[in-house]
Structure 1
Amino acid sequence: MRKSLSLLIFFYLNFANAQEQRYVTVDRTLSLMGSRFVITIVAESEATANKHIDEASAEITRIEKLISSWDENSETSLINKYAGIQPVKVNPELFGLIERSLKISAITDGAFDITYASMDKVWRFDGSMQYPPSEAEIKSSIAQVGYQHIILNKEKSTVFLENKGMKIGFGAIGKGYAADKTKALMLSKNVFAGIINASGDLTTWGRQASGEKWIIGISNPLDREKIFSWLPLDESSVATSGNYEKYVVFKGEKYSHIIDPRTGYPSKGINSVSVFSKSAELCDALATSVFIMGRETGLAFIDQLEGTEIIIVDSDHKIHKSKGIKFDEKR
C-alpha cells in the first residue's frame, strides 16, 4: 500500500500583481519522514519565512516520532510490540488518527487498512524476483491483516491489536496527516500563505504573493515534460498514488507494487490516481484506496463524497475524472 509519485505536480507562480511587493516567497527542500518535503512560505520578510519553515520542520519531526513504526520508543511501536498481549495507552492525537483510519477502512471496504504492515513481503519490486509467489504464500502473507481486529477504548485511550503478529503502519496516511497538522500550525501563527508538499501529498493555504490562487499543473505520466491540465488549489490538498516506478512483469503481465491488503495480490487496471480535497490526510488515504478499488468503483465512490474529486489514468493511459474536475489546458 505504499505510494510513489507518478503524476508530477508543477506550481504556476505569477508575480504580476503589486501585492507581491508586500510579501516574499521562500521554499526549502528537506528530508523528513524518510521522504522529500518541500515547504513553501509566503511572509512579510525572508527572515520571517525561514523562521516559519523551521517551525514547520520541527512539527513534522514531532509527528514522525509519534507515528513511526521503526522507532522502538514510539507509541506506534509499543502497540505493535504488545499485539495479542495487552492494550496500550496512547495520547489522544495518535488515538484520533487510528480512529479516523478505521473509519476510512470501513467506507472503503478494507481497501485502506493500516494493518497492511502485518503483511509478509512475498512480493519484491527491487528486481530480485524471478517468479511470482504461490497462491499459498500470498494467502499466508495476509493472515494477520484486518482492521476489524484493532480494538479501541476511547474512555481509556487504549489501542489493542487482537492477534499476535499484527502490526499497524501509517505509510498510506502519515505524510498527509503531517501536512495537515503543519498547515494548522502555520495558520495558528497567522502565516499569510504556503504549501506543505510531502513527496506529492500536499496542502495549501492562502494565496500566492501576487494574490492569485495556487495553480498546479498535472503532467502526463508518459511524458513528464508535458502538462495536460492546470488546476487551482484554493485552501485545498492533493495526493497522488502511482505504479510507474515499482512493478514487476511476469509472462508479459505487469504487477504493481500497490498490494490489495484484502487479497495479497497487486492491484490492476490503474496507472495513477490523484485525489483532491480539503484534507491532505484524506487525499493520502483515498489515493491508495481508489487505486485498489479500480476505476469504475473508485469513480463511483469519490462521486459520493462531498468536496472530493479525482483524476485517474488507467492502464490503457486513458484519463478519467470525477464530476467536479474541470480541465484548463491553457496557462
Structure 2
Amino acid sequence: MKKILSFLLLLLTLIGCGKKEPKKIEETKFAFGTMINMVVYSNDETQAKKAMELAFDEIERIDNKYNTHKENSVVYNVNTHPGKEFELDEEGLFLFKSIEKTHELSKGKYDITITPLMKLWGFFEEDVEVKIPTKEELEIAISKVDANNIVINGNKIKLKENKNEIDTGSFLKGYAIYRARLILEENGVDSAFISAISSIETLHTKPEGKTWKIGLQNPEDPSKLYHVIGLADKSMGVSGDYQTFVEIDGKKYHHLIDKETGYPVRDRKMVVVIGENGFLTDMYSTAFFSMPIEDVLEFVNNTENLEVMIVKSDMSEVYSNGFKDYLEK
C-alpha cells in the first residue's frame, strides 16, 4: 500500500510540474487620440502575438473608417458634405441605428452632434482663446445640436443641415476594443484585457481564475485610488469630470456638456457602466452623465447584464441593483 501511495504522489507531482504557466504578453499602440493597452495570457506566444496583431488591425480599421477626425472616413465625409447621402454597409448601419436608439432612450440627452458646443468651449480646437461663452454664443451653438438632423434612409445617411457635425468620441473607441476582444477570442485567446483609458474590455478571467482588477481614479484627486472593480467577460465605460477639461480663470470646465444649457453637467462627477458590449457601455456612460438619475436607474435595473454607479457632485454614490457585486474595494 505504501508503494502504491508513493507512486500516486510521484505521479501527481510530475503532472503538477508538467503544467506550463501561461505567459503574459503585452503591447500598447496609439489610436483614437489615446493609448490602447492590450494584455494577453497564453501558452502559445506565437499564436497570441498573431491574434493581438489582428486585434490591433481591427482597431486601426475602425479608427480609419469612422473617426470624425480622419480625412475621408465615413463620418468625415458626412460632416463635410451636408445634404449629400452616403451609403452605409452593414456595420455602419448597425452603428448608427444603435446610436439612434440610445438617443431615444436618453430622451435626446445623448447627442453625437454636440460638436458645436465642444468647439465653443475650446475642445477640438487648437490655438484659440478659451473663455466662458456668452449667452448669445451658447444659444447659437445649442441651435446647431440636433441628432434628429442625422437622416438614415434605408442604407443611406446624410446630415440635413450644414450647421450640424457628428462626433464619434463617445462611442467609437468602445466599439473598436469590443471588436478587438472578439477577434482575440476567435483566434484562440482565452484570457485578455484591453484598456483604452476610459473604455475597458475583459476576456474571461486571468489564468489563475481571478477577475481582472481595474482601479478607478478618485474624481476629486485622480492621483488617488477610488474603487477597484473586478471584471471577467465584461465591458466597462467610464465618464468623469476629471478626464478632459479646459481651465478658465483658474476654474476647470469638463467636456461632458449638457446640450440644453450649453454648460458642463454640474451634478455629477463620474459614471461607471458595466455590461457585455463596450460599444454600449461607452455610449451609456456618456448618456447617463446628463440623464436624470431616476431615469438611469429605471432603465438599468430593467435591462439584463447592465449595471451603473453614479458619483454625484457631493461624492455620494448611487448604484443599480447589482453594481456592488463588482466592487472589490
Q: TM-score range by the shorter chain?
A: 0.7 to 0.9
Task: State the Cα distance separating 1:104 from its structure 2 match.
Answer: 0.5
**More helix per residue: 1 or 2?**
2
The answer to whether the 8 A contact 1:230-1:327 is kept is: no
Q: Which residue of structure 1 lines up, in the alignment, with residue 144 of structure 2?
A: 144
TM-score by length of 2: 0.84
Q: Which residue of structure 1 lines up, in the alignment, with residue 56 of structure 2?
A: 57
The answer to whether the 8 A contact 1:30-1:36 is kept is: yes
State the alpha-carbon separation in 2 of the partners of residues 62 and 56 from structure 1.
10
Q: Which residue of structure 2 lines up, in the alignment, with residue 203 of structure 1?
A: 201
Give 1:76's aligned amino acid.
V
In structure 2, the CA distance between the partners of 1:162 and 1:40, relative to structure 1 (3 Å rule), is: same
Please say which structure displays the higher CA radius of gyration. 2
Superposed CA RMSD in Å reads 2.8
In structure 2, the CA distance between the partners of 1:294 and 1:71, relative to structure 1 (3 Å rule), is: same
1:127-182 deviation per Cα after TM superposition (whole angstroms, max 9, x unaligned): 9767521221101012222111211122xx11021112322121000100001111
In structure 2, the CA distance between the partners of 1:311 and 1:19, relative to structure 1 (3 Å rule), is: farther
In structure 2, the CA distance between the partners of 1:98 and 1:231, relative to structure 1 (3 Å rule), is: same
Tell me the secondary structure at the aligned position of residue 115 of structure 1: coil
In structure 2, the CA distance between the partners of 1:81 and 1:246, relative to structure 1 (3 Å rule), is: closer
State the alpha-carbon separation in 2 of the partners of residues 100 and 134 from structure 1.
34
State the alpha-carbon separation in 1 of the partners of residues 136 and 304 from structure 2.
41
Task: State the Cα distance separating 1:224 from its structure 2 match.
Answer: 4.9
Tell me the secondary structure at the aligned position of residue 140 of structure 2: helix
Structure 2 spans left out of the alignment, 5+ residues: 1-15
Instruction: Give the paired residue count.
Output: 312
Q: Which residue of structure 2 lines up, in the alignment, with residue 91 of structure 1?
A: 89
State the alpha-carbon separation in 1 of the partners of residues 310 and 146 from structure 2.
27
The answer to whether the 8 A contact 1:269-1:295 is kept is: no
TM-score by length of 1: 0.84
Q: Which residue of structure 1 lines up, in the alignment, with residue 45 of structure 2?
A: 46
In structure 2, the CA distance between the partners of 1:149 and 1:130, relative to structure 1 (3 Å rule), is: closer
> Once the two structures are aligned, what percentage of the paired residues are identical?
27
Q: Which moved more, 1:98-107 or 1:306-315?
A: 306-315
Q: Which moved more, 1:228-237 or 1:17-26?
A: 17-26
Highest RCO, 1 vs 2 (Cα 8 Å, sep ≥ 6): 1
The answer to whether the 8 A contact 1:213-1:232 is kept is: yes
Q: Which residue of structure 2 lines up, in the alignment, with residue 215 of structure 1?
A: 213
State the alpha-carbon separation in 2 of the partners of residues 328 and 286 from structure 1.
18
In structure 2, the CA distance between the partners of 1:147 and 1:20, relative to structure 1 (3 Å rule), is: farther
State the alpha-carbon separation in 2 of the partners of residues 227 and 282 from structure 1.
25
